[in-house]
Chain A
Amino acid sequence: MNEQPPADPPALRLLGTLTLAGALAGLLLVVVNGWAEPRIMAHRAEVLREAIQEVLGGPERYETLFLVDGRLTAAPPADADTLKMDRIYAGYDAEGRSIGLAISGGEPGFQDVIRLLFGFDPTTGRITGMKVLESKETPGLGDKIEKDSSFVAEFAGPAPPLIGVKSGSGSGDENEVDMITGATISSRTVIDIINHRLEELEPYLLRIEGDAP
């Protein structure tokens, strides 16, 4: 511990060392990312596919519709960046009849943004299901929006616009959803996301009914 501090090395050497180290670190990360990224994307696609199956009650196949120039279309212009476009997923049964639309949405909940997917059947005007894709809600309380099966089951069948009611105090109206005791904000966020997204997309949803294949 009693070595003399060495004379100051030239600044160039300090810069050089750190630059070289940074470049090597960058190279390593490029290699690892090249390996990991396809797996991460595949997992995300798988999660979305499962969620679409769940909220639409098992469609035979589904199609991605992009919102381009105020119109929902399955074939966006070739030069457009589809990653940035708003989109919905249209599910069809074995005979090719439309059985509903899966719509994703996200809004701030109690802790962080809640992202979810819900199914909507434009012919009956009812919600067919809801699945939380991402949430950091409080474990044991707010995370019941995804883990409490009776809350999730509330979203099979109600008619929008949804109204959240205190559990057990509803009048049995078809647009009522029982909220979770102790997780009012998280429950209300789920309901709000669905209402806001439907409100926002309503003009376009009516138009695809006419265009339906």
Chain B
Amino acid sequence: MRATTPGYDFARGIWRENPVLVQLLGLCPALAVTNTVANSLAMGLATFFVLVGSSLLVSTLKNLIPHEVRISAYILIIATFVTVADLVLAAVVPDIHKALGAFIALIVVNCMILGRQEAFASKRPVGRALLDAVGTGTGFIIALLMMGGIREVLGYGTFLGWPLFGASYEPWIIMILPPGGFFTLGFILLAFSWRESRRQEKPSVRDWPHGVGAATRRSA
């Protein structure tokens, strides 16, 4: 297990190991409910709440949960938080709850959340688990907002319901239909891997004094 700094634990999930854009986890909600910015935000916040709550609890209880039943225990904890989020959304923002439909309940099977419990929260102190969950959750919200922003602006011609273009704008209906989700995600991933490959081909100036080996080691 590599030692990491608290700052790295927090920042990693936001960008460099973004759950959706780099790890390709949690794609189901990222494709299904990102047709508007408001839906993306609600889904992101609900997932954030479940991830942070579960990581805190799993990290606190890690010594009490027997190894053999840990996955069942994690799922139980996650499902409880999801049901709480589901009820709170239905009570507070019924319209958004209606728009998200079954996808709130499906947060239970979001492998990003279970993955963070098994790979991180169950092995680290509570503080680190919290930082990691907040970072990963923020990364998830950012990814969903990128998807939702692009799809709403092109598909409805609005941002958070505010019209951006004149009446002459013909919305690209395909962008708010399921194919639009795949197109948007595809283009975002393309941009990400293009940027990543450029970063690897051109090592930064700092690497040169160590010779070519430093750059090769990094990309290996």
Q: Interface of A with B (CB < 8 Å)? A: 1, 5-6, 8-9, 13-14, 17-18, 21-22, 25, 28-29, 32-33, 35-37, 39-40, 43, 47, 134, 136, 138-141
Residues of B within 8 A of A6 (CB): 67
Which residues of chain B are near A141, meaning CB under 8 Å? Answer: 173
- B84 contacts A by Cβ under 8 Å: yes
Chain B residues whose CB sits within 8 angstroms of the CB of A35 once the complex forms:
87, 91
| A-B contacts, CB under 8 A, total | 68
Q: Residue on A with the closest CB to B64? A: A17
Cβ of B184 under 8 Å from chain A? no
Q: Is the CB of A21 within 8 A of B73?
A: yes
**Which B residues are in CB contact (< 8 Å) with A40?**
87, 90-91, 94
Please tell me which one of the listed residues A17, A39, A140 contacts residue B73 in the complex, with CB atoms under 8 A apart.
A17
In the bound complex, do residue A17 and residue B65 qualify as a contact, i.e. CB atoms below 8 Å apart? yes
Assess whether B66 is in contact with A9, with CB atoms less than 8 Å apart: yes
Q: Identify B91's interface contact among A8, A39, A134, CB under 8 A.
A: A39
Q: Contact at A18–B90, with CB atoms within 8 Å?
A: no
Q: Give Cα A5 to B68, complex, Å.
A: 10
Contact A22 B91 (CB under 8 A): no
Instruction: Specify which of A1, A5, A140 is in contact with B171 (CB 8 Å cutoff).
Output: A140
Nearest CB in chain A: distance from B150 CB, A: 15
The contact string, 1 if C-beta is below 8 Å from chain A, for chain B 55-74, is 00000000011111100110
- In the bound complex, do residue A8 and residue B77 qualify as a contact, i.e. CB atoms below 8 Å apart? no
Residue ID in chain B nearest A15 by CB atoms: B69
A27: nearest chain-B partner, CB-CB: B80
Interface residues of B in 141-156 (CB under 8 A from A): 155
Residues on A with beta carbons closer than 8 Å to the beta carbon of B94: 40, 43, 47
CB contacts (< 8 Å) of B101 on chain A: these are 136
Question: Please, how many angstroms separate the alpha-carbon atoms of A35 and B87 in the complex?
Answer: 9
Contact of B84 among A1, A5, A28, A37 (CB under 8 A): A28
Is the pair B69, A17 in contact by a Cβ cutoff of 8 Å? yes
Q: Are A22 and B83 in contact (CB under 8 A)?
A: no
- A140–B177 CB distance below 8 A: yes
Known: A5-B67, A36-B88, A140-B171. 8 other contacts (CB 8 A): A17-B66, A21-B76, A21-B77, A28-B80, A29-B84, A32-B83, A32-B87, A43-B91
Which one of B73, B88, B155, B176 contacts A32 once the chains associate, using CB atoms below 8 Å? B88
Tell me if B212 is interfacial: C-beta within 8 Å of chain A. no
Residues of A within 8 A of B67 (CB): 5-6
CB distance from A123 to the nearest CB of B (A): 35
Cβ contacts under 8 Å, A5 to chain B: 67
A9 to chain B, nearest CB (A): 5
Q: Which residue of chain B lies nearest to A140 when distances are taken between CB atoms in the complex?
A: B173
Give A17 to B80 CA distance when docked, in angstroms: 16
Of the residues B35, B73, B79, B88, contact of A18 by C-beta under 8 Å: B73
The answer to whether B77 and A139 touch across the interface, beta carbons within 8 angstroms, is no
Which listed residue (B64, B68, B176) contacts A139, Cβ 8 A?
Answer: B176
Q: Does B3 contact A (CB under 8 A)?
A: no
Contact A25 to B80, CB < 8 A, known contacts A138-B177, A140-B171, A140-B173: yes
| Contacts A35-B91, A139-B35, A140-B155; A29 near B64 (Cβ below 8 A) | no
